[in-house]
Amino acid sequence: MTKLKNKKRNLEENEDEQLPIFDKDGGEDAHLDDGDEDQGDLSDSEESVFSGLEESGSESDDEEEEDEEDGSEEKSSDIEEDKTADGDGDDQLSAKEVIKPQTDGQNSKEKKKKKKAAGKEGGEESVASVRDSGLQISSQVDEYEHDTSDEEDIRNTVGNIPMEWYKDYPHIGYDLEGKKIFKPIRNKDELDEFLDKMENPDYWRTVQDKMTGADIRLSDEQVDLVHRLQQGKFGDVNFNEYEPAIDFFSNEVMIHPVTNRPQDKRSFIPSLIEKEKVGKLVHAIKMGWIKPRRPKETTPQYYDLWAKEDPNSILGRHKMHVPAPKMKLPGHEESYNPPPEYLLSEEERLAWEQQDPEYRKLSFLPQKFACLRAVPAYSRFIHERFERCLDLYLCPRQRKMRVNVNPEDLIPKLPKPKDLQPFPTTQSLVYRGHSSLVRSISVSPSGQWLVSGSDDCTVRFWEVSTARCLKTVEVGGAVKGVAWNPNPSICLVAVSYDDTVVLLNPGLGDRLVCTATDQLISSYEEPEEVMDQSVQWAVAEGEGHEQGHRLILKHPKTVRQVTWHGKGDYLACVMPDNGSSLQVVIHQVSKRRTQNPFRKNKGLVQCVSFHPIRPYFFVATQRYVRVYNLIKQELTKKLMANCKWISSMAIHPGGDNVICGSYDCRLAWFDLDLSTKPYKVLRHHKKALRSVAYHRHYPLFASGSDDGSVIVCHGMVYNDLLQNPLIVPVKVLKGHTITHDLGVLDVTFHPTQPWVFSSGADGTVRLFT
């Protein structure tokens, strides 16, 4: 601000044409300035401790320091001016004048503040330019004498000197490269000046640059700025000097209060403690105990790129060795006396000459010489050497990292299917007779008979070894499930259709067993108190009895699956229903009793199964398989199948492993001892799995799917608890034709032989052996 004022004043003075006085003042001023500076220096020397410390600090601090010094220069000159000129300076200045002799440090600080304020007001650049122009204007009065500007014209390197020293020279300084800067040719005399003044409309805004001596025409903005300053306004147009005052120091108590309490005196004087500390440091530096600045290390630092590698190892050195591209060995053409067939004929030679050099097969013409002595210098030698150099230089250096993976290593080590025999490999027999899809099959415990239930409302009994249909029993609906009683001393087959389960006596096998079964059923005596059961038991009579129907169980809902307990007395039926808790019922045939084991509906039941040995009961819902202990009547385990919809389930004869087939093409093997999550998931089928089965003796399991195939896997379960089951897919059996997008609907193994039966939507049952 003071600077600006200074310039403003200069302009005024310029107008007033009080040049000589001012000039003199300026000279004194400069002189006084020097003195002032000395004084400042003295005071600084007092505080040399600080300056030293600050120097060791950041550079920005240094700059500030310089600014401070400059500021003090200007300030002092201003003060002098104020003294000499009319005392129109504000109170603050005069106050400073009073303060000034006391402490220079304080003065400089204040100036710094002011300068910062000025910077804030206008922005450094505009201020600088204005200052520049102001100075120039003053220099018109006295060109080189009054120069307080610290703004150096970088084009002129003479520095801050009175330019009059160059008055007698043709140049006014030196540029950065040390060449002389010549004064612009001034051939204007007074008259020219006057004429210029009269004619040139821009004369009034033309000033001379003192450093270069060139005329500069002020731009509109600069002129405007000068006007504003003349009028005592702020240089920045956008600055609003009448902004509403905010009373910081009010009686309101704020969270972070500000006060207008004047600063303590101690904040202006250096603290004694610090002074002591600094003194000690200075002493230490003087004594050479500490060095204020560590000398910079001039030696450049390198690091060893190859430090980590062992230089002795050959591989380490030559790891990235790229062999040079090999040159083609010379052939017969290159010979000085080539065989005649290599020599080009006239036409070939012409063709060669006409060919583009790039497309020539040979880069030279084979020539025949009588002797080696007669061979002239090879004209293309330099050229070819150059090309060779290019080849070497441009040869690709990137190494291709090849990972040598033996494809056989990627294949998991599985035993060969040959070693896992016996398992079914070919289709041997086809049991034809059903006219609609065969939903369910079951084999008699002896392995001699097969029963199949179909949508054509019949149940057929087959002789396994010849595929002969021995018996056809008609029932009242599409058969959903058949199950042969696993007890060899009972000859009963459970057949489910609609909401009915019929126990059939097929009359096959030992006559004694058949008659014994019939007697067992007829010997039932009605208990004293009749229990209220959800399932109606009835004894078949009449024609049904002739056909083999023995007991008819009417259920409240459609029965989807029937399965026997291993002992052959209990029969579980599944009636899938999302809303009711009556989804699974367990019948006891000998007592004709029915019980509903579950009170709660835990989801749509897909299938159920009895544990082959222990009193466990497996219930598969859409996503989970729950294992219940029938004696303790509690949930033992809950297996998470990780599939969307379980379709079927089979229990390993050992009882510790379960396989689940699902409609999303997966087969999950659970090891009950291992985890509740699948031990292995097989995704061999292309379409939904419909049925899974374990073999009773052989380590085999099979799955039937909608894609028409049966996949047989070797599934060895070891008695050793530490060894996980070995699962190897061994055979895909095809034979069923896909009808209505359905392939294989049920698979079951022969009880003694490694044979698998499958029933399909094409109305056939097939035996694979």
Partner 1 sequence: MSQVQARFFTENKKYLIDDVPFSIPAASEVADLSGVINKLLEAKNDGHKHVEFDFLVRGQFLRTSLASHMEKENISTEEVVEIEYVEKFTAPQPEECIMHDDWISSVEADSEWILTGSYDKTARIWSMEGKAVMTVAGHTDVVKDVAWVKRSENLQTGSLVVNDASLLLTASLDQTIMLWEWNSERNKVEARHCCRGHAGSVDTVAVDPTRTKVCVLPTVEEDEIEEPNRPRKKQKTEQMGLTRTPLMTFSGHNEAVSSVLWMDAEELCSASWDHTIRLWDAETGEQKSTLTGSKVFNSISYSPLCRRLASGSTDRHVRLWDPRSKDGSLVLLSLTSHNGWVTAVRWSPSHEHQLVSGSLDNVVKLWDTRSCKAPLYDLAAHEDKILCVDWTENGLILSGGADNKLYTYRYSTCVSDAGA
Spell out the alpha helix ranges (H) of 251-365.
272-287, 314-318, 346-354
If the CB atoms of residues 513 and 761 are measured against partner 1, the closer one turns out to be: 513
Shortest Cβ distance from residue 700 to partner 1 (Å)? 16
> Token pair for residue 545?
């009895």
Please list every residue from 503 through 542 that binds partner 1, using CB under 8 A.
Answer: 509-513
Site string for partner 1, 734-763 (x = CB under 8 A): ------------------xx----------
Find the shortest distance in angstroms from Cβ 562 to partner 1: 24
Among 45, 48, 363, 466, which residue interacts with partner 1 (rule: CB under 8 A)? Answer: 466
Under 8 Å CB-to-CB from 661, ≥6 apart: which residues?
Answer: 646, 647, 648, 649, 667, 689, 690, 691, 692, 703, 705
Residue 354 phi/psi, 5-degree rounding, is -75, -20
Residues in 691-730 that interact with partner 1 by CB under 8 A: none
Q: Is 489 in the site for partner 1 (CB under 8 A)?
A: yes
Q: Which of 150, 765, 47, 156 is nearest to 467 (CA)?
A: 765
- Of 324, 304, 305, 308, the residue nearest 316 (C-alpha): 308
Quick check: helix, strand or coil at residue 173? strand
Instruction: Rank residues 127 and 508 by Cβ distance to partner 1 and give the closer one.
Output: 508
Query: Measured from the CB of residue 475, what is the shortest distance to partner 1 in angstroms?
Result: 23
Q: Considering only the stretches 5-13, 299-307, 419-427, 585-593, report the one whose residues sit in contact with partner 1 under the rule CB under 8 A.
A: 419-427
Instruction: Answer for the pair 71, 108: CB distance below 8 angstroms, yes or no.
Output: yes
Q: How far is the CB of 698 from partner 1 (least distance, A)?
A: 13
CB of 521 to partner 1, least distance (A): 19
> In the bound complex, what is the minimum distance in angstroms from residue 766's beta carbon to partner 1?
13
- Residues 435 and 456 sit within 8 Å (Cβ to Cβ): yes
| Contact positions with partner 1 (CB under 8 A) in 435-454 | 446-448
342 phi/psi in degrees, rounded to 5: -85, -15
Question: Using CB under 8 A, which of 270, 338, 488, 597 touches partner 1?
Answer: 488
Among 468, 591, 644, 677, binds partner 1 (CB under 8 A): 468
The C-alpha atoms of residue 583 and residue 159 are separated, in whole angstroms, by 105
User: Residue 209, Cβ neighbours under 10 Å: how many?
Assistant: 19
Residue 470 in contact with partner 1, rule: CB under 8 A: yes
Closer Cβ to partner 1, 126 or 752, answer by number: 752
Q: How many residues bind partner 1 (CB under 8 A)?
A: 23
Buried b (16+ CB within 10 A) or exposed e, 348-358: eeeeeeeeeee
Q: Whole-angstrom Cα distance, residue 475 to residue 593?
A: 23
- How near is the Cβ of 338 to partner 1 at its closest, in Å? 47
- Whether residue 706 contacts residue 737, with contact meaning beta carbons closer than 8 Å, is answered with no
Binding segment (CB under 8 A) for partner 1, from list 90-98, 185-193, 306-314, 465-473? 465-473
Rounded to 10 deg, the angle between the 104-122 and 124-141 helix axes is 110
In the complex with partner 1, the residue whose CB is nearer, 1 or 470, is: 470
Query: Which of 57, 331, 422, 477 contacts partner 1 by CB under 8 A?
Result: 422
> Does residue 769 bind partner 1 (CB under 8 A)?
yes
Alpha carbons 624 and 610: distance in angstroms, whole number: 16
Residue 367 or 769: the one with the smaller Cβ distance to partner 1 is 769
Which residues contact partner 1 (rule: CB under 8 A)?
Answer: 421-422, 426, 428-429, 446-448, 465-468, 470, 488-489, 509-513, 752-753, 769
